[in-house]
Amino acid sequence: MSVLIYEKRNQVAYITLNRPEALNAFNNEMNEALGKAFSDFRDDPSLLVGIITGAGRAFSAGADLKEMTAMGQAAGTRSLNTPTSLGLWKPLIAAIDGYAMAGGFYLSLECDIRLATERSKLGAAVTRMGTFGGPTLLNLSKMIPVGDALYILLTGDNIDAAEAYRIGLIRKVLPDKESLMKEAEAIAEKIKLCAPLADQAVRRLVYTSMSRSPEETLALAEALRKQLAETEDAREGPRAFAEKRKPVWKMR
C-alpha cells in the first residue's frame, strides 16, 4: 500500500497522506513521497490548485516518533518536505479531518486555506517533545492573534475545530469528510477562475513577507507586478471582462 496517494483530476492535484494505522505520521518513506508529489505538482502546468488531506482518523499526527526513536534521532532533527521549501507557489487547500498535530499542523500552516470537520483537533505539540518545529511557527503568529499563537505553542495543547475557526485559523468547519471534500473542491473551482500566475505571485509574496524585511517585500512585490504586467494573461483578463466571457488563461 502506498503511503501517499497522488491524483490529478480537473486541473486539481489531490495529495492524500495514507498511513491511517499510524495517524498518517511522517516516516522517511512518506516524506520522500511528499517531496516528489509537491515537485510534480509544481512542475506540471496542467495543475492549478492542490488539496491535501489524510486517510482515516487524521490529517497527520506529525513525525513518526517510533521510527525516529529506532534511528536514534532527536526531536527537531528531521526536516519535512514542504511547499515553500520546494518553491511551490500554486494555491493549496488543507482538508483536515481528525488530528492535525505537530508536523501535520505545520504542514497545514503552509496551505493557503484550511477547512476542518467538527471532530478535528489541531495543535503544535512539538514543544512537549523538546523542540519548536522550525521557522514555520512564524506563519502561525502572523495568521492569528499573537496571544492565541503563543498559547498553542507554549502549552502544546490541542484546540478543537470550533476554537480554530473562532481565532481565524480555519475558514470553515464541516460536519463530515464528504462535505469537507465538497467544500474543498468548490473553493478549488473558484481559485481556477483566477489567473494562475497572479495567484502564484500572491502566494509567493505573502509567504516570503513572513521572513523578509518590509523593504525586501516591497521590492519583490514590485518585481512580481512588473512580471505579471508583461504576460498575455494580464491582457486577457480585462479583455474577457469587457467581452463578458470567461478568460482563457495561457500562463504566459
Domain boundary assignment for the chain? 4-192, 196-242
Domain 4-192 has CATH 3.30.465.10: no
Q: How far apart are CA 92 and CA 83, in angstroms?
A: 9
Q: How far apart are CA 251 and CA 191, in angstroms?
A: 14
Classify domain 196-242 by CATH number: 1.10.12
Which pLDDT tens digits describe the chain residue by residue (252 residues)? 699 999 999 999 999 999 999 999 888 888 899 999 999 999 999 999 999 999 999 999 887 666 666 766 555 555 778 888 898 999 999 999 999 988 899 899 999 999 999 999 998 876 666 565 666 666 787 888 888 888 888 888 899 999 999 999 999 999 999 999 999 999 999 999 888 988 888 888 888 877 777 788 788 888 888 888 888 888 877 887 787 778 888 877
User: Are 4-192 and 196-242 in the same CATH fold?
Assistant: no
In the sheet that holds 159-160, the strands lie side by side as 58-60, 99-101, 121-123, 159-160
